[in-house]
Structure 1
Amino acid sequence: MTCSDSDYAYLRELVLQQSANRIDPSRNALFDARLKPIAQKAGASSLKDFVSILKVDRAPHLHRAVAEAMTINETSFFRDLKPFEMLRETIFPRLIEQRRGQRRLRIWSAASSTGQEAYSLAMLIAEHFPIVAGWDVKIIGTDISQYVIDYARRGRYRRLEVNRGLPARMLLKYLVRDGEEWMISDRIRSMCEFQYANLCETLPKLPVFDLVMLRNVLLYFPPQDRSYLFKDVYRLMAPDGCLVLGNAEQAEDSSDLFEVEFASNSYCYRPVVGVE
């Protein structure tokens, strides 16, 4: 049985409510591909039957499973080089100088997907800033999908995944081969942790961050949800911290909270001090 336009509209609205992920009608075919395993587990013989189950039962775990399945999980090691160049040349040297007394760094990889961004940050620090080897450094990755959180925690990646963006020198230095997979080394893994968080709901208890990586997320959020998220991020940032967005994203609707700063052919955002 084929889904009707109203069925797809229901699914798009469900995903929007659960995750603030706005799915264009032109991408309705994604529902057929990504929801088939969930529909089968729920005892539905077709996606249309599954939609009927969702409408009648309104089971929270099924609604969440649909939102997780439709979340964009595209990522790679050192994805988009410019932000990492900016981190290496400008942001990390400044943060390390500012935190010399505390010897402590807290970094948030929001929407961390399968963990490559968080592990890339750890490798960048280990490779270029040996001065922090004895510091208390923690990179916290969060995501709405429990599946990708579990994947990130494993710290094991296939050959295709490590071949995307990870220099051979760093692959051999910070990962260990195990059959057809590569495992993140204990040194890098010890700097990272991963936990569930829905960015459009009440966030779990998190520390104050020196650096927030919020990349390639806002493109899928409607304006109101972006505004709420920026307020949450602002509250979780140190006054002299830094926010990094995706190349195609801006904080234009939160100019009262953040001011832009250009560095190394890219830019980041600094919290406006004194905002209540």
Structure 2
Amino acid sequence: MGCSDADYSYLRDLVLQQSANLIDPSRNALFDTRLTPVVQMAGASSVKDLVKMLRTNRPAHLHRAVAEAMTINETSFFRDVKPYELLRRTILPRLMEEKKKERRLRIWSAASSTGQEAYSMAMLMLSHFPELADWDVKIVGTDISRRVVEYAKRGRYSRLEVNRGLPAGMLLRYMVRDGEEWEISAQVRAMCEFHCANLCMPLSFLPVFDLVLLRNVLLYFSQQDRSTVFRHVHRQMAREGYLLLGNAEQADESTDQFAVEFSTNESSYFYRPA
């Protein structure tokens, strides 16, 4: 016998409490596939049995494991071409001009998943802005899932992963083949670091950032949690910083702390702290 509507409702509430990830009831079937490793880890016989364990014993580590298993971790190298063109042609040149005296840049991949976005940023900067070689540049990736943070730190990707979006020239220049995997080069790895963080919680342990990539994650939050995320992101940004969202995401419906700015070069837009 499978899960009841009440079981699925319990799991959705658990995930929302643990990670602020809002799962629509139409996607209940995801629990049956994604929770299989958690069922095995817990020694349960089924997802329904797992729910019974969660309700009865309330083991914190299993609650966390369920939330992590349901976190959306879809990503790829250079995901969506347009934002990287905007970064290359408009945002990074502006930042370099504004920060030329400090010669220091801090960039935040705020939902970094398995690390491809942070590493893509490093490759973009190395390829197109060699003058940054003697700058103090750090790209910080954060994600709520410890599993994907460890994956990002490992910096090793399958053939399928590198074939998704990574240009052949960059693959050969910035990655090293090791058997069936490709490993991020030391030069790229040195520019990136990864930490576990919940965007709905205070993030004062992070530095102040000049550029924040908050892409393709807001759609999984409720309206209230989006406002909270924007508030925390705003606190971590430099006064003249830049915020880039996903193609289908907007800030003005959830916050008044950012102002939209259009790029005439790219027919695109980004945000600045208001």
The two structures have a TM-score, normalised by structure 1, of 0.96
Corresponding position of 2:269: 267
> Following the alignment from structure 1 to structure 2, what is the Cα–Cα distance between the partners of residues 85 and 163?
20
For residues 161 and 70 of structure 1, the distance between their equivalents in structure 2, rounded to whole angstroms, comes to: 20
Structure 2 CA distance, aligned partners of 1:169 and 1:199? 34
Aligned residues: 272
Name the counterpart of 2:65: 65
**Deviation sequence 1:158-192 (CA, Å, 0-9, x none):** 11100110110111111111111111110000000
- Contact conserved, 1:258 with 1:270, CA < 8 A, in 2? yes
Identity among equivalent positions (%) equals: 70
Q: What does residue 220 of structure 2 align with?
A: 220
CA distance in 2 between partners of 1:92 and 1:148 (Å) = 27
Whole-angstrom distance in 2 between the partners of 1:59 and 1:251: 37
Q: Deviation above 3 Å: which 4+ runs of structure 1?
A: none
8 Å Cα contact 2:227/2:255 also seen in 1: no
- State the 1:240 CA deviation: 0.6
Aligned position for 2:17: 17
Alignment partners' CA distance in 2, 1:204 and 1:194: 15
In the TM superposition, what is the alpha-carbon distance from 1:203 to its structure 2 partner? 2.6
C-alpha contact 2:223 2:254 (8 A) present in aligned 1: no
Q: What code does the residue aligned with 1:236 have? A: Q
- Report the CA distance between 1:28 and its aligned residue: 1.1
Whole-angstrom CA distance in 1 between matches of 2:259 and 2:189: 33
Distance 1:101 1:186 in 2: 27
The 5-angstrom pairing of residues 200-219 of structure 1 reads: 200-203=200-203, 205-219=205-219
CA gap of 1:179–1:194, structure 2 versus 1, over 3 A, is same
Q: Which residue of 1 aligns with 2:244?
A: 244
RMSD: 1.0
For residue 133 of structure 1, give the secondary structure of its aligned residue in structure 2.
Answer: helix
Q: SS of the counterpart of 1:253?
A: coil
AA matched with 2:80: D
Residue by residue over 1:80-125, the C-alpha shift from the partner in whole angstroms, topping out at 9 and shown as x without a partner, is 0111000000000000111111111000001100000000000000
Q: Deviations over 1:193-252 (max 9, x none)?
A: 001001122335000000000001100100100001101111100011000000000002
